[in-house]
Amino acid sequence: MILGAPGSGKGTQGKLLAEHLRVPQVSTGELLRAAVKRGTPLGKQAKTYMDQGLLVPDEVILGLIREILDSRDAAGGVLMDGFPRTVPQAAAVDRVLADRKARVDRVLVLEVDEGELVNRLLGRAAKEGRSDDNLESIKQRLQVYHAQTAPLISYYERQGVVRRVPGMGQVEEIQVRMRAAAT
């Protein structure tokens, strides 16, 4: 699992690490954006929250998490990128995994300075035009991260699986640290 603030590089690093580990990378953010694009009921429910920089409610996400972890592709393990994001989501992940006699092996926390996070997200806004990459939503997402997602670090520290990885520098050098921390 990769934990980190918006803009910390979870998607970029997760893709490289998943290839290295030969497991699928699953991102609830990507799945939600695809649902929004297709205009499915899930996408319709999620869009207003996402555009405001708020988390999609747990009752919407819990089903999605179960679906991901119960899928056949997940049987050999997955790299979770961008979820769980709240303590109830983490508890749900633990429950589903425990039912399959599995567990969270490792949590990599990508650490990046706040100023750098904002710069990266504004840069991505200019390049990719994601509708939640505007200054107001970025500030909201950082606040939501500190309030609702950062507490997961101590949740997983109690399980002894957390490794902190400095997320500043070149993509390749960060990846070297990620691989070392993942084993």
**Positions 97 through 156 that interact with ligand ADP (CB under 6 A):** 132, 141
Give φ, ψ of 95 to 5 degrees.
Answer: -65, -45
Contact pattern for ligand ADP over residues 48 through 87, marking x by CB under 6 A: -xx--xxxx----x--------------------xx-x--
Using the minimum distance from each CB to ligand ADP, give the nearer residue, 53 or 167: 53
Q: Distance of CA 155 to CAs 90, 95, 108, 135, Å?
A: 9, 14, 13, 30
Q: Which is nearer to ligand ADP, 25 or 28 (CB)?
A: 28
Active site residue 124: yes
Distance CA 141, CA 50 (A): 9
Shortest CB 55 distance to ligand ADP, Å = 4
For residues 12 and 2, the answer to whether their CB atoms sit within 8 Å is no
Residue 143 or residue 159: which is nearer to ligand ADP going by CB?
143
Count of residues touching ligand ADP (by CB under 6 A)? 18
Helices (H), the chain: 10-21, 28-38, 41-52, 58-70, 87-99, 114-128, 135-144, 151-157, 171-182
**Residues in the chain, overall count:** 183
At 144, the amino acid letter reads V
130 is catalytic: yes
Under rule CB under 6 A, which residues in 8-37 are in contact with ligand ADP? 28-29, 32
Can you give the binding site for ligand ADP, defined by CB under 6 A? 6-7, 28-29, 32, 49-50, 53-56, 61, 82-83, 85, 89, 132, 141
Active site residues: 10, 85, 124, 130, 141
